[in-house]
Structure 1
Amino acid sequence: MIPPIQPLPGTPAPGATGGTIATGSVGGDFGQRVASALDHLQGVQNGASALEAQAAAGQGSISNAMIAASEASLDTQVTVALANKAIAAFTDVMNLQV
């Protein structure tokens, strides 16, 4: 299961007027969140691989292995789609005429 994305600290609530964003802490926090999401993805993939190995050895449930493999596949697809969007956004910003 993909965990929900939490709001960044220092970001005003939707609909709030005014307020400032603490820019110093947001950048480091974003990097930590990306690293945490990639660690989570790696854990899901490792768990799916372990369940597949157990099912192949006759010690685990095939249905659990299939569910874990589907979850790992979906998590990977979402991660790749987000990375592609981030790269496209970066490319768009770099191509802006100043």
Structure 2
Amino acid sequence: MAARQNKPASSGTPQETRLDDHIDAPSTTAPGDGPADTTDPTEMASSVSPDKAAAARAGHLTVNAVVPVEAPAEERDTSDDRYEEYEAVRPDGTKVHVKRNVETGETEVA
């Protein structure tokens, strides 16, 4: 995952909280948010062992100990999915059978 930096407003205070990739400096958060908070509902955090020595050498009294992780792929129960099937004609005049999953929008053409 690419490193992400929060952009502070002109006052120097960030207006949103996003997870930081670094573990050798304090996390960048908006007022009232903690290091694992995020304003992006798709972001997930995991705690890690921070580099406290590097943070101390840089003069930081606190250090970020959560980093963004990829969300696990969710398995769906497809047993109750609804499908619609119909015949269609391609632009070249060929007739095809179309099967579309109403729940997900996935379409198969045969």
More helix by share: 1
| TM-score, normalisation: structure 1 | 0.25
| TM-score, normalisation: structure 2 | 0.23
Work out which of the two has the higher radius of gyration on C-alpha atoms and give 1 or 2: 2
